[in-house]
Amino acid sequence: MTDSSASSHPLPQELLRRLPSVERVLSRDGISPLIDEFGRALVTEAIRDELTNLRARVDRGIDGPRLETALRDIGESVASRILTAITPSLGPVVNATGIIVHTNLGRAPLSDKAIEAIVRVASGYSNLELDLDTGKRGSRHRHASQLLSRLFPGKDALIVNNAAAAVMLSLNTFAAGREVVISRGELVEIGGSFRVPDILERSGAKLREVGTTNKTRIADYREAIGERTGALLRVHPSNFRIVGFTESASTRELVELGAETSIPVIEDFGSGNLLPLARFGLAAEPTVQDSLASGVQLSIFSGDKLLGGPQAGILIGDADAIGACRKNPMARALRVDKLTYAALEATLQSFLTDKAERDIPVLRMLAAPASEVRARSEAFAETLDKSTLQFSVEESTSRIGGGAAADATIPTAVLAITKNGVSAESLQSALRASDPPVIARISEDRVLLDLRTVPVESEPALRRALENLEARSKS
Ligand SMILES: *Cc1c(COP(=O)(O)O)cnc(C)c1O
């Protein structure tokens, strides 16, 4: 906005004198509802900021009438300043990328049951650390572990903040001040800032790298084992794949070596698929059950990837190994809160009752056939105003994301959007500026919307965002 100084009659000094004091503004009629709503401190600060802003505008040459208007509307300016200042930085977005487990977008949306469980536990007190049978102090660690023991008979479990924390805890428990043997091919960086070597070293364990990036044989592990070996670690290189001339020891071979030398084998799975991915038409990836069946002492995975639950790191394995981790004081620092347990238990219940594919959004999205996504996209496109934007429904691929099944793609249909004379980047950023923001991807200078990751309930928000693009480009 430019403040033209058409009338230079009132001198700036004179205009500045027209500015009221903070106290004067505070006592205006329109301001007291703001004080009721936001509190005196925020309102006072916003008035001060607004007066500073008006002083700067006078310096830049604002004329008398404009200053009068600004002073008349000061209540609105103050309210909008406060709203900007207190708007939470975290909020919902529409994920139209087709990437189901999108770490930047908060990974797994929770099931209705998990959300209900959170509300139930959050709105009052709970038996988080109370044994209801004895009335004595109980351990919070029993909560989700009971259900996990049902899912994985004979195994015990422990929940911590996330998978990175679980890796750190397990290595600290078994290999602090000792060595952890890992293949060079698995010293990877997964997603944002999970660098296996860094986490390993912070656990107090010393890295003993074996093999080469593309080939690590069981003999390489065997040679590295010595007095100081605390654990054998296997990390699933879940977001990339080394292809071609490769070889790696099987988990079973590692387990045999571990048994022979009495060294625990820890497997970091990441994605935590409990259901075989083949069920969704995807290439087979080992499941958590496979990992445990091969005999590893500990298997680790995330709660908010393919499990479709809250952020959590799940350690599951032999009772001795889990017990040792639980006793580690570090477990106290990495523990989860009651909301996480509530959501996780509800999520696990869906698996126990064979309702996972129905209840859990991540699995529903994974299971949706391309024909269904196409039908939804076509029906959605029908309802759009097409005067300035062009839409077409095309074949494309969705991805699991989140370091799960690296190269697995799922056939899908996308809504491709173009607008004459406007770059895809501009359309993409205009969608991101919508309320709620819509996150889309770009291919060949077109914006692509994949409804696989957009729940039906979010379609109106998506439609509004597109209508605003239309409206903006018409004016
Ligand atoms: C995603 C992933 C992690 C990190 O999981 P967080 O729960 O985000 O800490 C660790 N290891 C593997 C193999 C992963 O895929």
pLDDT tens digits, 122-170: 999 999 999 999 999 999 999 999 999 999 999 999 999 999 999 999 9
Res 276: pLDDT:
86
Task: List CB contacts of 259: < 8 A, sequence separation 6 or more.
Answer: 295
Does residue 309 have its Cβ closer than 6 Å to ligand 1?
A: no
Tell me how far the alpha carbon of residue 206 lies from the centroid of ligand 1, in angstroms: 20
Tell which wins on pLDDT, 406 or 6: 406
112 sits in which H/E element = helix 112-122
Region 274-302 average pLDDT: 89
Atom of ligand 1 nearest to the CA of 164: 9
Q: Does residue 5 belong to any structural domain of this protein? A: no
Q: Identify whether residues 198 and 346 lie together within a single domain.
A: yes
Tell me how far the alpha carbon of residue 196 lies from the centroid of ligand 1, in angstroms: 10
Q: Does residue 3 belong to any structural domain of this protein? A: no
Res 53: pLDDT:
96
Tell me how far the alpha carbon of residue 456 lies from the centroid of ligand 1, in angstroms: 29
Q: Does residue 216 belong to any structural domain of this protein? A: yes
Q: For atom 1 of ligand 1, which residue has the closest CA?
A: 270
Q: What is the pLDDT of residues 96-117, one digit of tens each?
A: 999 999 999 999 999 999 999 9
Instruction: Name the amino acid, one letter, at 312.
Output: A
**292 HSE (CA, 13 A, CB side):** 24
Longest dimension (CA), the chain: 95
Region 39-55 average pLDDT: 96
Q: What is the pLDDT of residues 160-192, one digit of tens each?
A: 999 999 999 999 999 999 999 999 888 876 655
Q: Identify whether residues 347 and 224 lie together within a single domain.
A: yes
Q: Identify whether residues 162 and 268 lie together within a single domain.
A: yes
Q: Does residue 199 belong to any structural domain of this protein? A: yes
Tell which wins on pLDDT, 238 or 30: 30
Q: Identify whether residues 324 and 412 lie together within a single domain.
A: no
Res 222: pLDDT:
95
Does residue 313 have its Cβ closer than 6 Å to ligand 1?
A: yes
**Separation of alpha carbons 108 and 27, rounded Å:** 49
Q: Identify whether residues 155 and 27 lie together within a single domain.
A: no
Give the CATH number, domain containing residue 323: 3.40.640.10
Q: Does residue 4 belong to any structural domain of this protein? A: no
| DSSP states of 34-70 | HHHHH-HHHHHHHHHHHHHHHHHHHHTT--HHHHHHH
Q: For atom 3 of ligand 1, which residue has the closest CA?
A: 270
Q: Identify whether residues 342 and 402 lie together within a single domain.
A: no
Can you list the positions of beta strands (E) in 1-130? 94-95
Q: For atom 14 of ligand 1, which residue has the closest CA?
A: 270
On the question of pLDDT at 236 being above 90, the answer is no
Does residue 238 have its Cβ closer than 6 Å to ligand 1?
A: yes
Apex CA 384: angle with CA 378 and CA 389, to 5°? 105
Which of 359, 393, 413 finishes a domain?
359
On the question of pLDDT at 403 being above 90, the answer is no
Region 325-352 average pLDDT: 97
Q: Identify whether residues 349 and 404 lie together within a single domain.
A: no
Atom of ligand 1 nearest to the CA of 269: 13
**Separation of alpha carbons 185 and 241, rounded Å:** 10
Torsion angle of the four alpha carbons 447, 451, 452, 457, in this order, in degrees rounded to the nearest 10: 140
Contact predicate 220/247, CB 8 Å = no
On the question of pLDDT at 471 being above 60, the answer is yes
Q: Does residue 106 belong to any structural domain of this protein? A: no
Atom of ligand 1 nearest to the CA of 166: 9
Res 246: pLDDT:
65
Q: Identify whether residues 156 and 180 lie together within a single domain.
A: yes
Res 333: pLDDT:
96
Q: Does residue 105 belong to any structural domain of this protein? A: no
Q: For atom 2 of ligand 1, which residue has the closest CA?
A: 270
Res 93: pLDDT:
98
Confidence label for 475 from pLDDT (cuts 50, 70 and 90) = very low
Does residue 110 have its Cβ closer than 6 Å to ligand 1?
A: no
> Residue 203: which of 192, 195, 211 has the closest Cα?
195
Q: For atom 6 of ligand 1, which residue has the closest CA?
A: 163
Res 242: pLDDT:
55
Q: Identify whether residues 293 and 265 lie together within a single domain.
A: yes
Q: What is the pLDDT of residues 411-431, one digit of tens each?
A: 999 999 999 889 999 999 999
Q: For atom 15 of ligand 1, which residue has the closest CA?
A: 270
Res 409: pLDDT:
85
Q: Does residue 32 belong to any structural domain of this protein? A: yes
Choose the residue to mutate in 238, 239, 273, 285 for probing ligand 1, maximizing ligand atoms within 8 Å of C-beta.
238
Q: Identify whether residues 402 and 427 lie together within a single domain.
A: yes
Region 212-228 average pLDDT: 89
How is the beta sheet containing 179-183 ordered, strand by strand?
A: 156-160, 313-317, 298-302, 265-270, 229-235, 179-183, 206-210
On the question of pLDDT at 6 being above 50, the answer is no
Does residue 186 have its Cβ closer than 6 Å to ligand 1?
A: no
Confidence label for 322 from pLDDT (cuts 50, 70 and 90) = very high
On the question of pLDDT at 406 being above 80, the answer is no
For 72, the domain range is 10-86
Res 238: pLDDT:
61
Which of 52, 86, 120 finishes a domain?
86
Q: Read off φ and ψ for residue 236, nearest 5 degrees.
A: -75, 120
**Pairing state between β 313-317 and 390-399:** unpaired
Choose the residue to mutate in 162, 168, 285, 302 for probing ligand 1, maximizing ligand atoms within 8 Å of C-beta.
302
Q: Identify whether residues 42 and 60 lie together within a single domain.
A: yes
Position of tokens 């600060």? 45
Give the CATH number, domain containing residue 428: 3.90.1150.180
Confidence label for 313 from pLDDT (cuts 50, 70 and 90) = very high
Choose the residue to mutate in 100, 190, 301 for probing ligand 1, maximizing ligand atoms within 8 Å of C-beta.
190
Tell me how far the alpha carbon of residue 302 lies from the centroid of ligand 1, in angstroms: 6
Does residue 235 have its Cβ closer than 6 Å to ligand 1?
A: yes
Chain-wide mean pLDDT for the chain? 91
Q: Identify whether residues 127 and 235 lie together within a single domain.
A: yes
Does residue 454 have its Cβ closer than 6 Å to ligand 1?
A: no
Domains: count for the chain: 3
Q: Which two tokens stand for residue 462?
A: 């998506």
Tell which wins on pLDDT, 406 or 323: 323
Res 243: pLDDT:
57
**Pairing state between β 215-216 and 247-248:** parallel
